[in-house]
Amino acid sequence: MKSVKVGLLGLGTIGTGVAKILTRKQEMIERAVGKKIELVKICDRNTSNDRGLGLPEGMLTDNVAEIMDDPEISIVVELIGGTTVARDFVLMALDKGKNVVTANKALIAKCGEELFEKAREKGVTIGFEASVGGGIPVLASIQTSLQANRIESIQAICNGTCNFILSEMESKNAPYADALKEAQRLGFAEANPTLDVDGSDSTQKLAILAQLAFGVKVDWQTIPRVGVDVVDAIDVTFARELGRKIRLLAIAERAEKGLVLKVAPTLVPENSNLAMVTNAFNAIRIVGDSVGPVFYQGWGAGQDPTASAVCSDVIDCALGRTKITFDSLRLWSDEREGVPILDAKEITSRAYIRFNVEDRPGVLAEISAALGKRGVSIAAMLQHPKENMDDKLVTIILMTYEAPAAALQEALDELATIPYIGKPVCLAVRD
């Protein structure tokens, strides 16, 4: 049996997982799919450590040409990360007529249009299941299983670091800083966690989901986003009193005038499926016009789950299944008729607002007036009695009815200029 030969770029955490599966489960995969898939070359800067894989002599190299110039290698797996060297290598592989598999959400979100155009030009494919949701097969489901549906909405918990932090704050009443430190200790968060906690990672994944489900080509940096780094332990406490939990949601949904795209910490009902997603798990809730709501949950990161998704793409590519969907869907092309994207100022939602204000008469009236003159109605208010009567600051929580984001932001900007009110924290609310 002629084998399908694979070259791997990057032997980090995920690369090691992929190499482990392709080398140690080769016979199992061959029995299951009827085709031999053979990892023949791995390129990494460090050739002195094969990560305990026991690789054959000569398989590990630091010369990328050994993969790119080998005519027998038909699939290149890119697991370098980033959008510079990775982009160059992916374009090189495509230009040489090789199919590409990647887990690089930043690369797909930023360079998707360029890469997919090159792949179509060369008659090859790009598999990217592992770029969203780790081991959860959500992209394959959108591209195949849900094709008979008009997708109405997607709500995704797609960053395991953020979900772990919020879960830690809930279960242990931990401050944000302590929860982040624990996430770093356990390896769920990077030493520099900015791209996770500020919402960037989730927003890149949302841009990919929006292309697949709604056909929109969007610069992920233009999508409104708020990260979990604004959430305080007191917000978790008040959310609990309101019968809710806080989750970082990436949302894409059809509205009357266009597609709503946003990423924000969101108060969801405590008995909802999304609220039940804890630890470093991911979950994606998709609503189709025929199928209704479907829910996917699983590990959203980590060596084995992500490597599983990468290898699934490799197998699909080897069997020719990727080629069928790649050619038919025309992803990141002008042939797809995308849904108009709603301007961020036109997005409406309910809101949770926390004010830390000086304890003086008339403060609540000023807050209500600033909101009221812009048509933002207050649905509920919460306030805890001061434990120490000498404290000068008190915390006030307001829940609003549905209101335009622009009107709400105007009111909050005005209130933030008042010295005895201070800058408010605003989170989204969904039922």
Catalytic residues: 205
Half-sphere exposure of 376 (CA within 13 A, CB side): 26
Contact status, residue 376 vs residue 407, Cβ threshold 8 Å = yes
Collapsing DSSP to helix, strand or coil, 83 comes out as: coil
How far from chain centre, in Å, is Cα 204? 6
Collapsing DSSP to helix, strand or coil, 221 comes out as: helix
| Cα distance between residue 369 and residue 234, in whole Å | 25
How far from chain centre, in Å, is Cα 3? 35
| Cα distance between residue 64 and residue 43, in whole Å | 6
Closest CA to 86 of 102, 72, 73, 74: 102
| Cα distance between residue 318 and residue 5, in whole Å | 9
Ramachandran class of 139: left when φ > 0, alpha when ψ lies in -120 to 50, beta otherwise: alpha
| Cα distance between residue 289 and residue 55, in whole Å | 49
Contacts (Cβ under 8 Å, ≥6 apart) of 421: 355, 357, 358, 363, 366, 367, 415
Residue 407 CB burial class (10 angstroms; 0-12, 13-18, ≥19): middle
CA distances from 390 to 228, 354, 364, 382 (A): 31, 21, 20, 21
Closest CA to 196 of 227, 164, 231, 167: 227
Query: For residues 327-363, b (16+ Cβ closer than 10 Å) or e, as one string?
Result: eebebbeeeeeebebbeeeebbbbbbbbbebeeeeeb
| Cα distance between residue 182 and residue 168, in whole Å | 8
| Cα distance between residue 6 and residue 4, in whole Å | 7
